């Protein structure tokens, strides 16, 4: 990425009203998984509502480099022509995962049982992120994997016969769980994984849709190795994590009601709704009927007076990607909001606790950075200023939304990575009522 690219900025004029209805792009987590499972399934998989953001395109290109034929049919439809897990072939070049932690970690699990070697690399942010959380349990299964002091590049040596494991995850991480489930498919015997707390279960739901038998209890999931996947059709809902920016925008500045359509409301993703409800938000969820693998709903938001709360720890994994925008809401709430038990935020695309604390301070919001969380004294609105997003898409979008309640313009640096998860954010934000421009 060129420096000019990473220096792209948003400038958002203060104030504005949010009105109408919109549909945000498809779910990132589900799009990654649909491509990968389609790639190791037998037969075609049609994906509708695919998120053509940079992260999922990294997955798509890596699968192509591994020999999978993928057709982009225009709009948001993608067809993956799977030949079964045995049809993958090694790539002589490194596989570039860009900014996508999900791609890198899930590919580690997918590639560990293969007969060929692979090397996984990524951008500057991804090259700093921890990979031993996946590599270590994969080694217990018999995989040969090397990291550089725990970080990428990740070298996966082929021709290892993997064995199933009974493993307790030390961190609540859907990426680790998913990587191990993918490896378990290519291992001999049963695998059982137990999480310290529930995390997003898109992999489990989708594996079942591809014909894999799994046994699930609240905190554990088990499957027998060697099962084959059958291609299927996958309908990807709008990404709750992208909708979250507009949910908070609506709480700050909706004129009447503001609606987000067809949003994925898998309960392992919607912790933010529970947190905002406890803060006094007026949010109405109209669930769609039907028995799709992933539940969807329209979400209607009205301008609301929020109050600060202690965020219950058990809600942290269920709202893990929504803390940047939740901190913006907390800054506008009366009283203090405290988040603890969120140390995982330090190893996301940026150190989201430190970077949000820094940005809130620039805008005049009192906050205290804690080892595992943040305490925010809300209620005094935002000043204006120059925010460094540290190249983190969710930080950039969160501060753009903050401008709705600011007294002066907010300028945000290094916003190019917004396109990793939310292509078209600028246009949608403008259509909704934000006075935002790119510079």
| Residues forming the active site | 321
C-alpha 319/C-alpha 272 separation (Å) is 5
Q: How far is the CB of 139 from ligand S3P (least distance, A)?
A: 19
The tokens of 101 are what? 């932690």
In the complex with ligand S3P, the residue whose CB is nearer, 226 or 267, is: 267
Half-sphere exposure for 331 (CA within 13 Å, toward CB): 31
Residue 1 has a CB neighbour count (10 Å cut-off) of: 12
CB of 210 within 8 A of CB of 185? no
Tokens of 366: 């009192």
What is the C-alpha to C-alpha distance for residues 179 and 110, in angstroms, rounded to an integer?
A: 7
Q: How far is CA 137 from CA 162, 164, 199, in A?
A: 11, 10, 18
Distance CA 327, CA 349 (A): 17
Residues near 321 by beta carbon (within 8 Å), at least 6 away in sequence: 241, 244, 348, 394
Report in angstroms how near the CB of residue 28 gets to ligand S3P at its nearest: 7
Name the site residues for ligand S3P (rule: CB under 6 A): 29, 102, 173-175, 178, 200, 320-321, 344
Nearer to ligand S3P, 174 or 401 (CB): 174
Supply 41's token pair: 């399934």
Residues contacting 2, CB < 8 A, separation 6+: none
Alpha-carbon span 266 to 296, nearest angstrom: 7
Could you tell me which of 298, 362, 360 has the C-alpha nearest to residue 325? 360
**Is residue 324 within 8 Å of residue 394, measured between CB atoms?**
yes
**Which helix H or strand E contains 176, and what residues bound it?**
helix 174-185
- For residue 391, the minimal CB distance to ligand S3P (Å) is 15
C-alpha–C-alpha distance, residues 307 and 280, integer Å: 6
What region, left, alpha or beta, does residue 50 occupy, with left being phi > 0 and alpha being psi -120 to 50 degrees?
beta
Nearest to 335 by CA among 353, 310, 359: 310
**Residue number with CB closer to ligand S3P (252 or 374):** 374
Q: What are phi and psi of 418, to 5 degrees?
A: -55, -30
185 or 320: CB nearest ligand S3P:
320
Cβ of residue 173: shortest distance to ligand S3P, in angstroms? 3
Nearer to ligand S3P, 243 or 333 (CB): 243
CB 204 → ligand S3P: shortest distance, Å?
Answer: 11
Residue 174 or 416 with smaller CB distance to ligand S3P: 174
* Cβ distance to ligand S3P smaller for residue 171 or 362: 171
> Please, which residue, 45 or 178, has the CB nearer to ligand S3P?
178
CB of 263 to ligand S3P, least distance (A): 16
Cα-based angle 305, 311, 312 (whole degrees, multiple of 5): 140
Q: How near is the Cβ of 33 to ligand S3P at its closest, in Å?
A: 7
CB of 55 to ligand S3P, least distance (A): 9
């Amino acid at each position: 990425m060129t420096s000019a690219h990473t220096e792209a900025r948003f400038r958002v004029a203060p104030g504005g009203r949010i009105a109408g209805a919109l549909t945000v792009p498809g779910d990132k987590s589900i799009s990654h998984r649909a491509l990968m499972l389609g790639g190791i399934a037998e037969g075609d998989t049609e994906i509708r509502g695919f998120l053509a953001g940079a992260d999922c395109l990294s997955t798509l290109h890596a699968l192509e480099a591994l020999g999978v034929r993928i057709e982009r049919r225009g709009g948001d439809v993608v067809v993956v022509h799977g030949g079964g897990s045995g049809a993958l072939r090694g790539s002589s070049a490194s596989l570039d995962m860009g900014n996508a932690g999900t791609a890198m970690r899930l590919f580690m699990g997918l590639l560990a049982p293969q007969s060929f070697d692979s090397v996984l690399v990524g951008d500057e942010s991804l090259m700093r992120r921890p990979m031993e959380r996946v590599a270590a349990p994969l080694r217990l299964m018999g995989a040969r994997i090397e990291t550089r002091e725990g970080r990428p590049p990740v070298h996966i040596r082929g021709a290892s016969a993997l064995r199933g494991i009974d493993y307790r995850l030390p961190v609540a991480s859907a990426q680790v769980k998913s990587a191990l489930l993918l490896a378990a498919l290519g291992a001999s015997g049963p695998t059982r994984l137990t999480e310290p707390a529930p995390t997003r279960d898109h992999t489990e739901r989708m594996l079942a849709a591809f014909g894999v038998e799994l046994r699930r209890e609240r905190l554990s999931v088990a499957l027998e190795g060697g099962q084959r996947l059958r291609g299927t059709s996958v309908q990807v809902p709008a990404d709750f994590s992208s909708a979250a920016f507009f949910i908070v925008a609506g709480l700050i500045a909706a004129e009447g009601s503001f609606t987000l359509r067809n949003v994925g409301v898998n309960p392992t993703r919607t912790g933010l709704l529970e947190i905002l409800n406890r803060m006094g938000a007026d949010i109405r969820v109209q669930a769609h009927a039907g028995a799709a693998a992933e539940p969807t709903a329209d979400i209607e938001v009205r301008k609301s007076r929020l109050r600060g709360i202690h965020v219950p720890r058990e809600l942290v994994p269920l709202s893990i990607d929504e803390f940047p925008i939740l901190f913006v809401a907390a800054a506008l709430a009366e009283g203090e909001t405290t988040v603890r038990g969120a140390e995982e935020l330090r190893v996301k695309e940026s150190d989201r606790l430190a970077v949000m604390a820094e940005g809130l301070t620039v805008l005049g919001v009192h906050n205290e950075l804690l080892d595992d969380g943040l305490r925010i004294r809300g209620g005094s609105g935002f000043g204006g200023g120059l925010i460094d997003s540290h190249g983190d898409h969710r930080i950039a979008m969160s501060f753009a939304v903050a401008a709705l309640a600011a007294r002066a313009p907010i300028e945000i640096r290094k916003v190019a990575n917004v396109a990793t998860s939310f292509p078209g954010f600028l246009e949608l934000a403008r259509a909704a009522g934000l006075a935002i421009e790119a510079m």
